[in-house]
Amino acid sequence: MKQRLEVKLLSNVVGAEVTGVDLLEPVSDETIADIRKIWLEHGVIFFRNQPLTADAFQAFAQRFGDIVEYPFVKGLPDHPLIVPVLKMPHERHNFGGVWHTDTTYLEVPPAATMLIARELPPVGGDTMFASGYAAYEALSDGLKKTLSQLIAVNSSAKAAVTHSREDRMANDPAAMAKKELNSEHPVLRTHPETGRLSLYVNPGHTLKFAGWSEEESQGLLDYLFEHQVRPEFTCRFVWQTDSIALWDNRCVLHNPINDYHGHKRLLHRITLAGQKPF
């Protein structure tokens, strides 16, 4: 049975809460298609009060694509495709605690990421999201033309993000944890489903432009990194236990705010397979 969905915008350019669906009950293909349409329109969508088991969470994620492994941290012992996103009370760094798009250092980066909140601090631990579409559309025509000719070099070893993985890799390293992964992708990416262009660089992984030195690239990259997370391009999601987020890595950046030292925060993450950027 198709369910009647309601959408509440979190901002004018990115993010929406979806209500009117109980994920503990069977969800029809028609409802999944409607959810996907909302997701593609808003870049990241959120669901509240969905206490899914690991099995149910994985089954729901699979309705949106094939699940792939994260290269640096082991998954759960009984669900290896579900990765714990964990910060313990004694830790100072949080996992992925910098503006980034997931694993752009892969030749084929993921299309999407899904998180469910398991344990949260009493306050703090929100996640911010930014629209690559809005960032691109706000650029001048001259800069759009320049960027259309450029390729970004991305690395898993960039210092800005490696610190945010250290605690998890020390405790639960994956087989590829010691490898450095590198890729090259267009600075302006065409979304394979919507056809829209987005700005596809990020401070977590982008090192330089292909054919340029890091020093030559730095000034323009710094401008783009600041530009793409301007407040008017963002939304902020306040987590609650059993909340779910699904974001589109092909056009959205995110930044988990590290403002809850002394408290535990645990979410479970699933990554969905993508396509080579073009």
Sign of the Cα pseudo-torsion (94, 99, 105, 109, in order): positive
The one-digit pLDDT tens for each residue of the chain (278 residues) are 667 899 999 999 999 999 999 999 999 999 999 999 999 999 999 999 999 999 999 999 999 999 999 888 899 999 999 999 999 999 999 988 999 999 999 999 999 999 999 999 999 999 999 999 999 999 999 999 999 999 999 999 886 555 444 444 445 554 445 579 999 999 999 999 999 999 999 999 999 999 999 999 999 999 999 999 999 999 999 999 999 999 999 999 999 999 999 999 999 999 999 999 99
Residues pairing with 9 in the sheet? 16
In this structure, is residue 18 part of a structural domain? yes
In this structure, is residue 1 part of a structural domain? no
In this structure, is residue 12 part of a structural domain? yes
In this structure, is residue 187 part of a structural domain? yes
Q: How far apart are CA 125 and CA 177, in angstroms?
A: 25
- pTM for the model: 0.92
Q: How far apart are CA 122 and CA 6, in angstroms?
A: 28
Q: How far apart are CA 87 and CA 237, in angstroms?
A: 18
Burial of 159 (0-12, 13-18, 19+ CB in 10 A): exposed
Catalytic sites, residue numbers:
100, 102, 254, 269
In this structure, is residue 278 part of a structural domain? no
CATH code at position 26: 3.60.130.10
Which range of residues forms the domain containing residue 95?
6-272
The number of distinct structural domains making up the chain is 1
Q: Answer yes or no: are the C-beta atoms of 57 and 116 closer than 8 Å.
A: yes
And the tokens for 76?
Answer: 């759960």
Q: Answer yes or no: are the C-beta atoms of 188 and 148 closer than 8 Å.
A: yes
Q: Kindly give, in sequence order, each residue whose CB lies less than 8 Å from that of residue 247, ignoring residues fewer than 6 positions away.
A: 43, 44, 45, 112, 113, 129, 254
Q: How far apart are CA 126 and CA 46, in angstroms?
A: 13
In this structure, is residue 277 part of a structural domain? no
